[in-house]
Amino acid sequence: MKHQYEAIIVGAGGAGLYAALEASKTAKTAVLSKLHPVRSHTGAAQGGIGAALGNLEEDKPEWHFFDTIKGGDYLSDQKAAQILVEEAVNAVYHLENLGLPFSRTKDGKIDQRRFGGHTRNFGEAPVRRACYAADRTGHMILQTLYQQCIKNNVAFFDEYFVLDTLIDGNKCNGVIAIELSTGEIHIFQSKAVLFATGGFGRIFKTTSNAYANTGDGPALLARAGVPMEDMEFYQFHPTGIYGMGILITEGVRGEGGILRNRYGERFMEKYAPTLLDLAPRDMISRAIIDEISQGNGIRGDKKIDDYVFLDATHIGKDIINKRLPDIAGFCRTYLGIDPAEKPIPVQPTAHYAMGGIPTDLRGRVIRNECGDVYEGLYAAGECACISVHGANRLGTNSLVDLVVYGRRAGTDIACFVKKADFGSIPASPDDAARKKVNSLITGRKSKSRGAITSRMQDVMMEKVGVFRTAKEMKEAVEVMRGLKDEFKEVGIKDTGKSFNTELVEALELENLLDIAYLTAVAAENRTETRGAHSRTDFPARDDANWLKHSLIWLDREQFGIKYREADVSLYKPKPRVY
């Protein structure tokens, strides 16, 4: 079946829905999502969305800006980060006006709490900047945006999985997608396509990410010849539930929670004397691994899967139930404890990709080291790299990113499609997609997915984790290359057309393998330590050689790795201490 829309949005999380709301005001727009929109992983964001409203104490976008670039270890593009923090304020008010039920201050304003790396007056002390709705802020953002899409009659294609892009030279003319309920392959011709497919934490064994976070957009575009930016920067959130990876929001520490080792020591005193437990995530994750490797973990056996305690017992039942009810629920369900009575066992969990599809300030996808863009191809949200987060994202800034840059991309698309024409698409644009599906379904291949998935996740976790070395990353690159080859022999047993979820999982695995490979290659290539990319063999930041973004092509033999200078026009890099 063939469809024609001026704008196609792929992905229905915060960025996709915001863009759809904007674009659909004037352009004929459709949203394609492999999930029903309300299942998107934006809904799992907990602690808050950062904006310098100053509702409880003095705050300024300029301070938020400084925190963001310092948090990003000076790799953030500073003009992009400036837009982020300035537009954050209106974006939060806009969300409230659309109905988002923020928690409230005594005088009825949006309530704000402390969060990691967010400070007043350039690092003096933590500031209340995270606007929150209990500990389900992302859930409320997702719900509010979806509700607005209903109100504005946005067209949805739920449970459609995108298989291919129609990129002709430098122009994108649409996508090919499979309708999961029927197995039918659809052609979507369009003037503009936005990818907002979210993260890819599922390349790692322990992750806070959903099963759905398989990097579909970045992988699809990488295979179409689009470079990926800064793939070496992947954030490990310090507080995932031990053994499961389920996120425990930084908001627990924002409300006063303390990390402790087996001796009960508040170990962050050693690593970040000013901000302590509210230091940025990369530093705290390293501190936890350091404690564990010194034998200070709770078991004390120095094994990498040891853990520490997040102590919230002094916060009080009342505040926990009021401001952190979901966290209390997770602890009850999965750990059988009440966080008001017992400390929470936590360990770092793979959480957020700073890197991804390179874009400019209008969300247009960049195609080379000169910053030239594709025509009609956009990306926003976690799958994109603008880069506002640099080498390490601050807590709450992911939600800011997806509303600010989701909206900007949507606005640009609306203007662009007014002037643009539909490009021509080939006679059988879905040939490649059909071939791929058929080779998986009807091939006589017998290799199973399970072993490949576990091996990828184990190796990425062990060798491209919080601390990295050349030797281990080289091994990871080789393993990923081998697994990509093995994937060619993967066959699936479900030969049906309707709801072939085994087919979807195989396609997702293919995407994960390409992303894991690019992550490992990019990580090995960057010979310095910066933000979340921490190398024991190159332990220092190297501004002379590495104040730049890496661009990596999947077809590396042909294109190699190239670079774009980071924009440090407003604040020159300084040592990063907290």
Partner 1 sequence: MKITFKIRRLNKEIGGRPYFQEFNIEAEPNDRVLDALMFVKTNLDGSLAFRKSCAHGVCGSDAMVINGVERLACKTLIKEITDDANFVITVEPLQGMLVQKDLMVSQDTFFENYRAVMPFLINDEPTDGKERIQSPEERVVFDDTTNCILCAACYSSCPVIQKKNPAFIGPAAVVNAARFIFDSRDQGLEKRLPALDNPNGVWPCKNHFNCTRVCPRGIKVTKNINLTKRKIIDYKKQNEKL
Task: Catalog residues that contact partner 1 under the rule CB under 8 A.
Answer: 35-36, 38-41, 43-44, 90, 93, 96-99, 101-110, 133-134, 136, 139-140, 143, 147-148, 150-151, 181, 210-212, 244, 246, 326, 329-330, 333-334, 448-450, 453, 492-494, 496-502, 505
Residue 281 annotated as catalytic: yes
Supply the DSSP string of 292-352, one letter for each residue: HHTT-SSS-S--TT--EEEE-TTT-HHHHHHH-HHHHHHIIIII---TTTSPEEEEEEEEE
**Min. distance of Cβ 461 from partner 1 in angstroms?**
17
**Min. distance of Cβ 283 from partner 1 in angstroms?**
26
**Min. distance of Cβ 481 from partner 1 in angstroms?**
23
Q: Which is nearer to partner 1, 38 or 304 (CB)?
A: 38
CA distance 319 to 136: 15
Alpha carbons within 13 angstroms on the beta-carbon side of residue 293 total 9
CA distance 423 to 187: 14
**Min. distance of Cβ 499 from partner 1 in angstroms?**
4
CA distance 205 to 573: 34
Instruction: For residue 181, say if its preceding peptide bond is cis, omega within 30 degrees of 0.
Output: no
Helix (H, G, I), strand (E, B), or coil: what is residue 233?
Answer: coil
Supply the DSSP string of 360-421, one letter for each residue: -TTSEEE-STT--EEEEEEE-STTEE-SSSTTSPPTTHHHHHHHHHHHHHHHHHHHHHHH--
Q: Which is nearer to partner 1, 101 or 560 (CB)?
A: 101
Token digits of residue 491: 């066959």
**Min. distance of Cβ 380 from partner 1 in angstroms?**
20
**Min. distance of Cβ 140 from partner 1 in angstroms?**
6
Q: Which is nearer to partner 1, 395 or 531 (CB)?
A: 395
Q: Which is nearer to partner 1, 333 or 527 (CB)?
A: 333
**Min. distance of Cβ 488 from partner 1 in angstroms?**
18
CA distance 54 to 73: 25
Q: Which is nearer to partner 1, 102 or 188 (CB)?
A: 102
- Give the closest residue to 202 by CA, choosing from 351, 304, 398: 351
Q: Which of 114, 281, 407, 408 is catalytic?
A: 281
Phi, psi of 376 (to 5 degrees): 75, 20
CA distance 143 to 102: 12
Other Cβ atoms less than 10 A from the Cβ of 2: the count is 11
SS (H, E, C) 410-441: HHHHHHHHHHCCCCCCCCCCCHHHHHHHHHHH
- Give the closest residue to 244 by CA, choosing from 320, 338, 307, 328: 307
Q: Which is nearer to partner 1, 133 or 522 (CB)?
A: 133
Token digits of residue 400: 């800011």
Find the helix packing angle between 431-441 and 501-525, rounded to 10°.
110
**Min. distance of Cβ 385 from partner 1 in angstroms?**
24
- Give the closest residue to 390 by CA, choosing from 19, 2, 75: 75
Q: Which is nearer to partner 1, 106 or 314 (CB)?
A: 106
Q: Which is nearer to partner 1, 166 or 212 (CB)?
A: 212
Catalytic residues: 281
